[in-house]
Amino acid sequence: MAERVALITGGAKGIGRGIALDLAAQQWSVAICYRTSEKEARATADAITERGGRALSIRCDVSDPQAAKGLVTEVEQQWGRIDALINGAGPYHRMNLFEETVEGWNEMFDGNLHPIFYLAKAVAPGMKARKSGRIISFSMANADQMISQPDVTAHYIAKAGVLILTRTLAKLLAPHGITVNAISPGFIDSGSAPPEELAGMTKRIPAGYIGTVDDTVAAVRYLLSNEARYVNGANIQVSGGWGI
């Protein structure tokens, strides 16, 4: 099989790490981008190598448009191509709207939405030239409902924006053999939330249990597969029925 290269933002831990290790087991070359999790990034890079993949671990703040462009350039210079861009980075905090700061408000958009635009623009030329490519971004399970969210307002608006951006990119890039899709997780035990908090949410999930990183990884694996070549502009809910 021809060499395949993936760039994963937020790839040092949690869902991003799970995706990286799954791709490594399929002999992908995987570049993971991290902002602060240097120790975890090193461990993930080592694990990628152990599973048969090639690894790059790059510190980058993808909320900076020039840094995001430079990240893509670095990976392409190192390995010659990027076949899959997986936008996994995205900060989150809970704050009542009227207690939110301007800095906190901007952080949600700078971290969750804007990098997808920056990185898509950067990877598109190479993907167009090869007439193939996959872009996957993460929203959240009820972002398509456009409901009120007093305590996560900016984050929620950014994640709704991810869906609009995903569909727009899909329409623009489909003629070039590129697919662009979104995955919307619900409550996933990825290590980012305390177990007791997740346990308290179980009764709100129709399936009756919390999802795992593997549940999300499986959706990514499908969207990267040949079986999903005609799936474009989709939003896959990974939520056990929560948020629909």
Residue 1: per-residue pLDDT: 42
Question: Per DSSP, what are the bridge partners of residue 59?
Answer: 34
**Cα distance between residue 133 and residue 120, in whole Å:** 11
How many Cα atoms within 13 Å fall on the side-chain side of residue 154?
Answer: 25
Residue 200: per-residue pLDDT: 86
**Cα distance between residue 86 and residue 127, in whole Å:** 14
Contact between residue 91 and residue 38 where contact means Cβ atoms under 8 Å apart? no
**Cα distance between residue 7 and residue 136, in whole Å:** 11
Residue of 53, 60, 3, 64 whose CA lies nearest to 30: 53
Single pTM value for the model: 0.96
Instruction: Give the number of residues written for the chain.
Output: 244
Catalytic residue among 156, 209, 222, 230: 156
Q: How far is CA 92 from CA 113, 159, 206, in A?
A: 12, 11, 24
**Cα distance between residue 22 and residue 217, in whole Å:** 7
CATH number attached to the domain at 5-238: 3.40.50.720
**Cα distance between residue 15 and residue 30, in whole Å:** 14
Residue 2: per-residue pLDDT: 56
Where along the chain do its domains lie? 5-238
Residues with Cβ within 8 Å of 244's Cβ and at least 6 positions away in sequence, in order, are: 141, 142, 237
Residue 197: per-residue pLDDT: 78
How many Cα atoms within 13 Å fall on the side-chain side of residue 18?
Answer: 17
The structure tokens 């906190």 sit at 104
The amino acid at residue 196 is E
Residue 156 among the catalytic residues: yes
Question: Per DSSP, what are the bridge partners of residue 185?
Answer: 238
User: How do the pLDDT tens digits run along the chain, 244 residues long?
Assistant: 458 999 999 999 999 999 999 999 999 999 999 999 999 999 999 999 999 899 999 999 999 999 999 999 999 999 999 999 999 998 989 999 999 999 999 999 999 999 999 999 999 999 999 999 999 999 999 999 999 999 999 999 999 999 999 999 999 999 999 999 999 999 999 987 777 878 888 999 999 999 999 999 999 999 999 999 999 999 999 999 999 9
Residues with Cβ within 8 Å of 225's Cβ and at least 6 positions away in sequence, in order, are: none
